[in-house]
Amino acid sequence: MKVLKVDHIGIAVQSIDEAQKLYHDILGLPDHGRETVAEQKVTTAFFPVGDTEVELLESTAPDGPVAKFIEKKGEGVHHIAFRVDDIDAALEELKAQGVQLIDQTPRKGAGGARIAFLHPKSTRGVLVELCQRDDT
């Protein structure tokens, strides 16, 4: 398994429009637009910074996972995404090493990426996402 880089850091926010005032207007990160991932009840907004990106996450429904996260913990870092060269092989390897997975097989994430989450029980409480992109 090869981890290539931190692909993005996901931050749960109440409102992307409000949060972008810091990340775009003040910090000056380029705004790469919004995308709703309907199955995950979330709208995402990507702001590239160096070789990685900040991903703001706004829930599209009160019962969505991001809304529940904010309810429990408040706004804040929601997940860290590592880009890998081969997500299928990475999941097999992690499984074989006894790492608990949330997603046994990859699903579709923002920007057409193939993504899978690892269980925070196996990652010291941090939600870790693996992601593979076409341009990897």
Judged by CB, which is closer to ligand CMX: 23, or 55?
A: 55
Q: Which of 37, 39, 73, 72 is nearest to 58 (CA)?
A: 37
Pairing, β 42-49 against β 52-59: antiparallel
Stretch that binds ligand CMX, among 13-21, 22-30, 36-44, 87-95 (CB under 6 A): 36-44
> Is residue 107 helix, strand or coil?
strand
Judged by CB, which is closer to ligand CMX: 26, or 98?
A: 98
Judged by CB, which is closer to ligand CMX: 36, or 88?
A: 36
Q: Which residue has the tokens 């009840």?
A: 41
Judged by CB, which is closer to ligand CMX: 24, or 43?
A: 43
Q: Measuring CA to CA, how many Å separate 22 from each of 13, 26, 34, 49, 93?
A: 12, 5, 16, 14, 39
Judged by CB, which is closer to ligand CMX: 26, or 62?
A: 62
> Is residue 76 helix, strand or coil?
strand
The only residue of 13, 57, 90, 94 in contact with ligand CMX, by rule CB under 6 A: 57
- Residue 28 CB, nearest approach to ligand CMX (Å): 23
Pairing, β 76-84 against β 128-132: parallel
In eight-state DSSP terms, residue 125 is T
Please report, as residue ranges, which positions from 6 to 35 form the binding site for ligand CMX (by CB under 6 A): 10
Q: Which residues bind ligand CMX (CB under 6 A)?
A: 10, 37, 40, 42, 44, 55, 57, 65-66, 69, 78-79, 81, 102, 109-110, 113, 115, 117, 120, 127, 129
